[in-house]
């Protein structure tokens, strides 16, 4: 049964997905995935000093590139598996609706053995014992008379003997046992046609066998064929097929939703991956700032012993060193928290040591899409799958108005029935076509109480209005998200330019402040500010580069042109060339 369901469901999904670009349902598998294995990934041989006492955790940890993270996510992510199961169940529901319009066979039967026992009283004639004694006494008397007789005639007066009956009646009670076998069988088939007509055929046979007694067996069979065709309410293709039509379209909508979800899922995993790398880079920068201040602090303490630095100047640097130590510790904690969250998203046990590929950050570059805002809006209105669902939902609501309008009509059904019976009492299963009945008629229900039909019709009108508003809102939301994506993209590009300039300026300023410090002309406050500006500029540069990359991914996703491969990586169109996530 499991294999049968899978074959039918996957066949439906394959057929339905042919009209949905990048549906990915051909690879749909809801079997529980095997445990995550990272054995094929390379090991990290070094340790990261900026992690402090946590550096040993990354020793021999498996290194996960972005494309491998995406592959693990689509294979093992729990939410992703749940979405695949929901799509499977949607298709499974459709198989049941489709089954209503196929011949439905039935075969039922039953058998019963009955054991009956009851007392029966009968009156019978049995020999009378007194009769034999009377006969013997009479014979003896006759013999005695004969032996004492004379030749002379003698008149003897005797008394007549009483009459004794030869038989007497007696009541006898016996236990009578009957064993019977009763069996009944029914074979039937029913089919609902696309016009609303339902045709049903039933063959029934009853069988009675006496296991004791004079009659051995008897049977009775019949065949009935019925036809019921609505003529007004519920008649025709639209009303009859509405349930199936909606179920078919609901599955198509679910496939589109799943396809859009795959795109959102890939962007979400990439965002988690890059944000974790950003947190790691921020922890590294905080550590470098802390170590730089430790070095400066050592030098400043030596100068203070020579009375070349005041206690106030030394205190400022000590406070800056403590502040960056706190920032460093907090950054390491943030990085490890984000890494654990990513592990959960990839279904990797949180206790498994892993490390992300640092080179993924060096692959990032500012790449501007070669299209305008208006071009992206026009593209999205044509390619967005959720907009197709909204438009089709409006069509559904208009179709339901027509169905509910027909529901206001009276119920008028044509019915026909043909029945043929077998020979009564026959010992065989047989049908005598000469013994048949044929009937036809009309069933009319004026449905004078139309409150429910009226409410259904009015509800359909309201649903159509809501569907029209929802479509308009969906299109506006697409325009809104795309405009926001372009603003985010532009802001990230400008932030990156500012951060890059800030890094260059901060480096030059820090070099100057360190030179002035060695010459005894700089101040501790200027040195602290220069170091802080450099760290913030480096963090901003990385953040802006990642924000620009993710904004570009969201732009492609919201335009509907982000295609997801079977391993979860994406194919994007840029400068008329296809590029794959994770590849050089």
Whether the pLDDT of residue 208 is over 60: the answer is yes
What is the CATH number for 47? 1.20.1600.10
Instruction: Compute the residue count for the chain.
Output: 584
Radius of gyration of the chain (CA): 49
Give the span between the Cα atoms of 401 and 461, in whole angstroms.
6
Pairing of strands 577-580, 411-421: unpaired
pLDDT at 578: 42
- For the stretch 440-494, pLDDT in tens is 999 999 999 999 999 999 999 999 999 999 999 999 999 999 999 999 999 999 9
- 162 in a domain, yes or no? no
Per the CB < 8 A criterion, the answer to whether 542 and 364 are in contact is no
Give the span between the Cα atoms of 500 and 494, in whole angstroms.
10
pLDDT at 582: 43
- 149 in a domain, yes or no? no
More confident residue, 105 or 26: 105
Give the span between the Cα atoms of 428 and 220, in whole angstroms.
8
Burial of 534 (0-12, 13-18, 19+ CB in 10 A): buried
- 332 in a domain, yes or no? yes
Q: Which residue is associated with the tokens 């496939």?
A: 255
Q: Residue 199, by phi and psi: left (phi above 0), alpha (psi -120 to 50) or beta?
A: beta
Mean pLDDT, residues 258-262: 94
- 97 in a domain, yes or no? yes
pLDDT at 216: 61
For the chain, give the mean pLDDT: 87
What percent of the chain lies above the pLDDT cut of 90? 58
Per the CB < 8 A criterion, the answer to whether 327 and 293 are in contact is no
Contacts of 425 (CB under 8 A, 6+ apart): 218, 219, 220
- For the stretch 15-39, pLDDT in tens is 999 889 888 766 688 889 899 999 9
- 464 in a domain, yes or no? yes
Contacts of 286 (CB under 8 A, 6+ apart): 50, 324, 327, 328, 331, 535
* 79-83, 155-159, 162-166, 274-278, range with the lowest pLDDT: 155-159
Per the CB < 8 A criterion, the answer to whether 535 and 320 are in contact is no
Pairing of strands 354-356, 411-421: unpaired
Per the CB < 8 A criterion, the answer to whether 423 and 220 are in contact is no
- 427 in a domain, yes or no? no
- 547 in a domain, yes or no? yes
Give the span between the Cα atoms of 129 and 147, in whole angstroms.
28
Whether the pLDDT of residue 142 is over 60: the answer is yes
Whether the pLDDT of residue 523 is over 80: the answer is no
* 308-317, 347-356, 553-562, range with the lowest pLDDT: 308-317
Mean pLDDT, residues 286-300: 84
Structural domain boundaries enclosing 476: 2-101+238-407+452-580
Residue 125's pLDDT band (cuts 50, 70, 90): confident
More confident residue, 533 or 423: 533
More confident residue, 547 or 140: 547
pLDDT at 123: 83
Question: Domain count of the chain?
Answer: 1
- 307 in a domain, yes or no? yes
Mean pLDDT, residues 124-130: 79
Give the span between the Cα atoms of 577 and 584, in whole angstroms.
13
pLDDT at 426: 65
- For the stretch 563-574, pLDDT in tens is 999 888 888 544
Give the span between the Cα atoms of 530 and 533, in whole angstroms.
5
């Amino acid at each position: 049964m499991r294999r049968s369901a899978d074959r039918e469901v996957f066949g439906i999904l394959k057929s339905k997905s042919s009209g949905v670009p990048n549906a990915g349902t051909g690879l749909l598998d809801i079997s529980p995935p095997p445990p995550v294995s990272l054995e094929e990934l390379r090991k990290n041989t070094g340790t990261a000093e900026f992690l402090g006492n946590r550096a040993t955790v990354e020793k021999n940890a498996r290194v996960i590139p972005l494309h491998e993270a995406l592959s693990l996510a689509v294979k093992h992510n729990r939410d992703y598996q749940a979405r695949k199961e929901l799509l499977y169940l949607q298709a499974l529901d459709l198989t049941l609706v489709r089954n209503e319009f196929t011949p439905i066979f039935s075969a039922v039967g039953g058998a019963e053995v009955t054991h009956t026992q009851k007392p029966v009283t009968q009156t019978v004639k049995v020999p009378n014992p007194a009769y034999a004694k009377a006969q013997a006494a009479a014979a003896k008397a006759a013999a005695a008379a004969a032996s004492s007789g004379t030749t002379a005639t003698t008149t003897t007066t005797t008394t007549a003997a009483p009459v004794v009956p030869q038989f007497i009646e007696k009541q006898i009670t016996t236990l009578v046992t009957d064993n019977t076998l009763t069996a009944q069988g029914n074979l039937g088939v029913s089919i609902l046609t696309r016009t609303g007509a339902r045709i049903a055929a039933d063959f029934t046979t009853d069988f009675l066998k006496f296991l004791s007694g004079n009659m051995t067996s008897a049977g009775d069979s019949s065949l009935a064929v019925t036809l019921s065709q609505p003529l007004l309410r519920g008649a025709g293709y639209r009303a009859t097929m509405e349930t199936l039509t909606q179920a078919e379209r609901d599955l198509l909508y679910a496939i589109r939703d799943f396809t859009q979800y795959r795109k959102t899922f890939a962007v979400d995993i990439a965002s988690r991956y890059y944000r974790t790398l950003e947190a790691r880079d921020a922890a590294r920068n905080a550590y470098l700032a802390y170590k730089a201040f430790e070095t400066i602090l050592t030098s400043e303490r030596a100068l203070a012993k020579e009375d070349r630095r005041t206690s106030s100047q030394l205190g400022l640097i000590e406070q800056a060193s403590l502040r960056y130590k706190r920032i460093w510790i907090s950054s390491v904690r943030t990085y490890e928290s984000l890494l654990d969250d990513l592990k959960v998203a990839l279904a990797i046990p949180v206790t498994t040591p892993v490390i992300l590929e640092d080179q993924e950050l060096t692959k990032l570059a500012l790449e501007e899409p070669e299209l305008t805002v208006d071009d992206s809006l026009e593209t999205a209105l044509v390619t967005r799958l959720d907009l197709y669902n909204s438009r089709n939902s409006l069509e559904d609501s208009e179709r339901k108005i027509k169905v509910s309008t027909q529901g206001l009509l009276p119920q008028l059904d044509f019915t026909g029935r043909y029945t043929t019976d077998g020979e009564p009492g026959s010992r065989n299963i047989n049908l005598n076509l000469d013994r048949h009945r044929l009937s036809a008629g009309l069933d009319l229900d004026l449905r004078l109480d139309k409150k429910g039909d009226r409410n259904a019709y009015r509800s359909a009108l309201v649903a159509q209005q809501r569907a029209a508003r929802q479509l308009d809102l969906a299109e506006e939301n697409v325009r809104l998200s795309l405009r926001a994506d372009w603003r985010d993209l532009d802001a990230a590009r400008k932030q990156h330019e500012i951060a890059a300039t800030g890094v260059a300026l901060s480096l030059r300023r820090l070099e100057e402040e360190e030179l002035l410090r060695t010459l005894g002309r700089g101040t501790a406050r200027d040195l602290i500010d220069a170091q802080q500006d450099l760290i913030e500029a480096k963090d901003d540069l990385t953040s802006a580069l990642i924000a620009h990359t993710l904004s570009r991914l969201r732009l492609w996703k919201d335009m509907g042109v982000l295609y997801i491969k079977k391993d979860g990586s994406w194919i994007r169109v840029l400068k008329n060339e296809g590029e794959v996530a994770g590849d050089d």
